[in-house]
Amino acid sequence: MPGYKSLPEQFSGPAAEQVRLAELLQRAGANEDAVHLLESALEVCAASAPELPGWLCGRLASMYRTLKRYDDEVGLLVRYRDSQQSEEARVRFDARLSKARAIAQRKTRSDTRMLASVRTAVNRRAVEAAALRTPAPDLGFSPEAVSELATAFAEASASEGEHSGLVAAIERLHREARGSGYPAERIVTAIKTVWHDAKSPDPAAAEAWNARYRDALTRSLALYFEEL
């Protein structure tokens, strides 16, 4: 996480493991996916204890700022503060909260002055220019493994429950990664890229489609670390 060392081994349990997976996703550039895991871990903690852990809230707040989600950062820090019993814990992130509020207010004023049509046009040109400059990534896996994963994602979008084809494709990707000595980040990048290029379902199935992707990431990382 930005500004954070890896979570010490003294922290254990489902939430801690999700934080460690999020750290890996963040290093691989999958920031949105890292945030999703951290948010899920936060709800796990909230369901088991009234006081939210600072080691988790601090990491999630940093990711929100990285993604320019300033209002979410403010809301999270306020939620953390309100959950604490001791004054020492309550004021732990006060300086960060003040800065986050200032950034959020500046952004609101800036957005108010900017015409939405102009902002959309500028963003579209920037994306198009970036697409021209950035070549397709070399995933480093065999064409057969990449094709199998793409097909499995497309087929999984039309079914419910665990999809055997997707499980098999992830296991094949994992075997190739281990055989080539690839780090876990390489597997994350491959899954993210293939999923983005796969055929998307209709809008009504978007949440299920996203869940397939998150499940694929979790399964691939679990396989990888089981063999370390």
Structure confidence by residue, pLDDT tens digits, 74-117 = 999 999 999 999 999 999 999 989 999 999 888 877 666 665 55
> Could you give the residue range(s) of every CATH 1.25.40.10 domain in the chain?
14-113
CATH code, residues 14-113: 1.25.40.10
Q: Report phi then psi at 95, rounded to 5.
A: -65, -40
Provide the pLDDT for residue 146.
Answer: 92
Check: pTM over 0.75? Answer yes or no: no
Range picked from 33-47, 98-112, 147-161, 199-213 for highest mean pLDDT: 33-47
Return all residues near 14 (Cβ < 8 A) that are at least 6 apart.
Answer: 41, 44
Higher pLDDT pick, 71 / 184: 71
Our CA dihedral for 187, 190, 196, 197, rounded to 10 degrees, sits at -150
Long-range CB pairs of 12-18 (<8 Å, 24+ gap) are: 14/41, 14/44, 15/41, 15/42, 15/44, 15/45, 15/53, 15/56, 16/41, 18/44
pLDDT score for 134: 42
Percentage above 90 pLDDT, the chain: 39
* Residue labelled with tokens 């920037």: 126
pLDDT in tens, 126-185: 555 444 444 446 788 999 999 999 888 888 766 666 678 889 999 999 999 999 999 888
How far is residue 213's CA from residue 196's CA, in Å, rounded to a whole number? 9
Both structure tokens of 55: 């080691």
The pLDDT of residue 62 is: 94
- In this prediction, residue 141 carries a pLDDT of 94
Distance CA 185, CA 27 (A): 7
Q: Which helix (H) or strand (E) holds 156?
A: helix 143-156
pLDDT at position 159, please?
Answer: 65
Q: What is the pLDDT of residue 67?
A: 94
What pLDDT was estimated at residue 57? 95
Instruction: Report the mean per-residue pLDDT for the chain.
Output: 83
For residue 3, is pLDDT > 80? no
Residue type, 96: R
Query: What pLDDT, on the 0 to 100 scale, is given for residue 75?
Result: 96
In 3D space, the residue among 130, 134, 132, 172 whose CA is nearest the CA of residue 150 turns out to be 172
